[in-house]
Structure 1
């Protein structure tokens, strides 16, 4: 079994309220869930209206498949014009990790 996680630190564009922030973050979370069947949530900076951290986790029996899914998720978020991707954290846990 292989587990991969990503964390996306995002700077949101023309957002002036938490309500506007939700209208940007929720569609990204929903698209990741729908397209890639991964677990996704906003995990930090909930009180700031121009910043967000989205966390993502995926599990697979095939390491190559898992890396491919994580790569595609990262490309999707990086390609969104309404956000600036400040950083991406990636962790990969293989079957022989302690």
Structure 2
């Protein structure tokens, strides 16, 4: 069993309240869940309205497939959000 994980750090400078942030995060999570078979959630900085940290995990039979799925999700998020990506941590266990 191979587990692929990623933590994506986003910065949304136009967000001015936690309510706005929640709308952005829910939209990203819903789109990714609909398109890919991964677990995804906001994992850090939940009290800071311009900082978004999203965690992603997938389980696979091969390292190559896990890396491909995680990279596809990261690319999808990059292409479908106005937030700036500050950092991406990808790990395969």
| Structure 1 length-normalised TM | 0.89
Unaligned 5+ runs, structure 2: none
Match runs of 1:36-55 below 5 Å: 36-55=36-55
Number of aligned residues: 93
Q: Secondary structure of 1:16's partner?
A: coil
Gaps of 5+ in 1: 94-98
Question: Distance in 2 between the 1:68 and 1:13 partners?
Answer: 30
Kindly indicate whether the alpha-carbon contact (under 8 Å) linking 1:13 and 1:82 is maintained by their aligned counterparts in 2: no
Aligned to 1:19: 19
The 2-side partners of 1:90 and 1:65 are apart by 14
Superposed CA deviations along residues 19-64 of structure 1, whole A, max 9, x for unmatched, are 0001111111111111111001000110000001000110011322
After TM superposition, the runs of 4+ consecutive aligned structure 1 residues lying more than 2 A away are none
SS at match of 1:68: helix
> Hey, what does 1:92 align to over in structure 2?
92
Residue 80 of structure 1, CA deviation = 2.9
Q: RMSD over aligned Cα, in angstroms?
A: 1.1
**Separation in 1 of the partners of 2:29 and 2:13?**
17
CA distance, structure 2, for counterparts of residue 81 and residue 48 of structure 1: 18
Match of 2:2 in 1: 2
Question: In the alignment, what sits opposite 1:72?
Answer: 72
